[in-house]
Structure 1
Amino acid sequence: MRTSINQNRIPLSLPELRNLGTILRILLLVNAVVMIAAFVREERGAAISDAWVQMSAVVEPHLLCELLILYLLAPWLERAPYAIGASSVMAVTLAVGLGINTALAALIPDMTTGAMLRHVMFSLLIAGVLLFYFQLRAKALSPAIAEARLQALQARIRPHFLFNSITAVLSLMRSEPRRAETALEDLADLFRVLMRDNRQLAPLSDEVELCRQYLDLEKLRLGERLTIEWHIDNMPGDAQVPPLLLQPLLENAVYHGIERSSVPGVIAINIFLRRGEVHAILRNPYKMSHSDHGGNNMALANIRERLALHFDAEASLASKTKRDSYEVHIRMPYRTYVESGEGA
């Protein structure tokens, strides 16, 4: 799918054929169709089971071979126009179908030419249905609803943060004018990012810089109550991530873990690359007496949905609560490019 969430006309595009979620959906849908076909073909339980085994013996080798070939061709297919890409998928389906059925005909003497042709036509039909399904899914995941949720997340920076930041800056105007000037620049940069079009993926280094500016402003008003620990020596700064991925989580960490606590606290940010995946782990103090987590849950759900829109099943967000700390763990694929060709 495209890396842009566009509220206007969605350009035709092939699914990401190297995406784990796409591969799993294809496997599940094709096997479901085979099971349904077995039920339609036979009436008795034993006969249904035999029919399913026979059909699977033809379908599974074909499906796995085709997925492997499409996986290898994926970089080219994703750059090609949709018509050429879709035609290529159908051509691969036809070629693999003929090859598999020819091999099976040598192993099964009583396999007729008519049966071979039916298998190939069935494969082409399934391939066409899958292309249509993924196009419908792309349209379903990218309407104005998804865009509105992103805008809602951008707008949910708490009004009291702006008020408190301005108050803190005013208190420094006379005593530390240079520090006040830096704080105002950070505040301007933060709101510039919040107000711009954030549908495109952006470098992780930009997101971290935004988080630094945000935390500097929070530390300006919270002082020694807030301590930040950065562990980003192994961070891949060129990784492409959804904008405003970490800042809302840090805002929640400050609000629930520091601001509402009577004692100083530490927020730890650990970002690293492992086995082709980017991991971001945020940890903050947690008190069991804190009961208001509505905003926190909204941010988690929103970010989880945005990760799914951009990366499908290749990304995840998990949170866990310990006795005195709260941790959020984001996992996403390491990508250093943004696909071109998004619609207006």
Structure 2
Amino acid sequence: MTSIRHFPATYPLPDWRNFGVMLRALLGINGLALVAALVMSPGLSGWLASYIDLAAIVEPLLLICLGLLAFARDLLWRLPLRLGQALVLALAGALALVLFAYWQSIALNDAVSPGRAALLAMIAAAFLLGYFELRARAFSPAQSEARLAALNARIRPHFLFNSLNAVLSLIRARPQQAEAALESLSDLFRAAMRDPGELVSLADEIALGKQYLELEHLRLGERLAVDWQIGPVFMGLPIPPLMLQPLLENAVYHGIEPAPDGGTVRIEISQRGDALWIAIANPTVGQVQHAAGNQIAVANIRERLALYYDLEARLEIETGDHRYEVRIILPCRQKAA
């Protein structure tokens, strides 16, 4: 089972293919270049020019190094941590040595010797690796999973109590439907009690969402209509648990219940390139308190996405005339990194 233990924030040797990791590496090295330019510049007036000259040398080296590290990520992760870190340092130093020797041979750069450039590159790489290791300790698996459990715990009472109320309303009038509803409710309990650090398949998450909506349909009747639009997506794709259900609950509670005539909840799931798109739309009736209530689940899911995917996933909200839509965009990962 794919787990948060495999995600980049929890391992000291970073996932060089992760956008957040690449962005932090670019910002970190350019920050060091800014400081170096300030130290080397004779005055503040020439500081920016010095940085531009230095960046013209540093950026090609940095981009090539990140590309090679992204290509070799899986190999590096299979090695012991310290050996992997040593290879990253060696790669940075070797690249700097080769590039500066080449530039020196064609008279593009005579200011820094290749050996000195290799040493500076290794120091900068060591600085980055140290940062990522400290960050991994701050986001250790135990802390991350405890936080995910706390976030999931905020969700559980809402849909479990709502579902229980729906079942109670059926016990006397429609006992057979109540029995079927209790079976669905037991599945919801199992989902809520699942290890929050484990990912689930897209098919399981969709099935859970459908069970929840069936329970709500028993309570709301014809006032609740559902429109599923599922494109050609890989149903075994691992995604974080309880992504759909809280948003579906929001759509029902904030969009359908306040409307005298009810409405339609539209769920669209599609794959666009290397990203999975999940969009949930519902009608709105203008109540300020209901619109504000949406933000609790949205903030919850946004924080969980950050724990799982760093900067690679995002949550977007679009509001219009009598319409509210939440979109989740996730990277398609068919196996643990």
Match of 1:276? Answer: 274
With normalisation by structure 2, the TM-score equals 0.90
Q: Which residue of 1 aligns with 2:95?
A: 96
1:272 is paired with a residue of what secondary structure?
strand
Among candidates 288, 297, 300, match of residue 298 of structure 2: 300
AA at the equivalent of 2:113: A
Q: Which runs of 5+ in 1 are unaligned?
A: 340-344
Greater CA deviation, 97-106 or 51-60?
51-60
Deviation string 1:217-247 (CA, Å, 9 cap, x unpaired) is 1111111111111111323211111111111
| Structure 1 letter corresponding to 2:197 | R
Alpha-carbon separation, structure 1, partners of 2:161 and 2:303: 30
TM-score (norm 1): 0.88
Tell me how far 1:315 sits from its aligned partner.
0.8
For 1:230, what is the secondary structure of its paired residue? strand
Deviates more, 1:154-163 or 1:73-82: 154-163
Partner SS, residue 156 of structure 1: helix
Contact preservation (8 Å) 1:154, 1:195: no
Deviations 1:51-71 (A, max 9, x none): 323322331221111111112
The 2-side partners of 1:120 and 1:164 are apart by 63
Distance 2:70 2:159 in 1: 47
**Distance in 2, Cα, partners of 1:306 & 1:211:** 18
What residue is the counterpart of 2:84 in the other structure?
85
How far apart are the structure 1 equivalents of 2:183 and 2:109?
Answer: 79
| Alignment deviations for residues 25-74 of structure 1 (CA, whole Å, 9 cap, x no partner) | 11111111111111112232443234323322331221111111112112
Deviation (angstroms), 1:104:
1.3
Alignment of 1:231-242 (within 5 A): 231-242=229-240
- 8 Å contact from structure 2 (residues 13, 133) kept in 1: yes
Q: Does structure 2 retain, via aligned residues, the 8 Å contact 1:277–1:333?
A: yes
Unpaired segments ≥5 residues, structure 2: none
Query: Matched residues in 1 for 2:289 and 2:11: separation?
Result: 46
Aligned to 2:113: 115
Q: Is the 8 A contact 1:272 1:280 kept in 2?
A: yes
CA–CA distance in 2 between the matches of 1:67 and 1:107? 25
1:172: how far off?
3.6
* Percent pairwise identity: 43
- Contact 1:257 1:284 survives alignment (8 Å): yes
What aligned pairs does 1:5-16 form with structure 2 within 5 A after superposition? 12-16=11-15
Letter aligned with residue 224 of structure 1: E
Tell me whether 1:335 sits opposite 2:333 in the alignment.
yes
C-alpha deviation, 1:153, in angstroms: 3.4
Please give the secondary structure, in 2, of the residue aligned with 1:26. helix
Q: After superposition, what is the alpha-carbon deviation per residue over 1:124-176, rounded to whole angstroms, capped at 9, x for unaligned?
A: 01101101111222233447765454334323347575455334434544654
Q: State the alpha-carbon separation in 2 of the partners of residues 301 and 311 from structure 1.
A: 15
**In the comparison of the two structures, how many residue pairs are matched?**
334
Query: Following the alignment from structure 1 to structure 2, what is the Cα–Cα distance between the partners of residues 189 and 75?
Result: 36
Looking at structure 2, the residues matched to 220 and 28 of structure 1 have their Cα atoms a distance apart, in angstroms, of 53
CA contact (8 A) 1:278 1:331 kept: yes
1:168-179 to structure 2, matched below 5 A, reads: 168-173=166-171, 176-179=174-177
Distance in 2 separating the partners of 1:162 and 1:308 = 25
- State the 1:115 CA deviation: 2.9
Which residue, 234, 238, 251 being the options, matches 1:253?
A: 251
1:44–1:161 CA distance, 2 compared to 1 (3 A): closer
In the alignment, is the contact (CA less than 8 A) between 1:34 and 1:55 conserved in 2?
yes
1:297 Cα offset (Å) = 1.2
Secondary structure (helix, strand or coil) at the match of 1:269 reads: strand
1:23 is aligned to 22
**Which of 135, 138, 141 does residue 140 from structure 1 map onto?**
138
CA distance in 1 between partners of 2:36 and 2:197 (Å): 42
| Mapped contact 2:160–2:189 kept (Cα < 8 A) | no
Structure-2 residue corresponding to 1:342: none
- Structure 1 residue matching 2:134: 3-state secondary structure: helix
Distance across 2 between alignment mates of 1:276 and 1:98: 36
For residues 56 and 271 of structure 1, what CA distance do their matches in structure 2 show? 42
1:188 Cα offset (Å): 0.9
Which moves more between the two structures, 181-190 or 192-201? 192-201
Work out the CA distance in 2 between the residues paired with 1:215 and 1:166: 13
Instruction: Report if the CA contact (8 A) 2:12-2:137 is conserved.
Output: no
Does structure 2 retain, via aligned residues, the 8 Å contact 1:12–1:82? no
User: Match for 1:4: what amino acid?
Assistant: I
Specify the SS of the correspondent of 1:56: helix
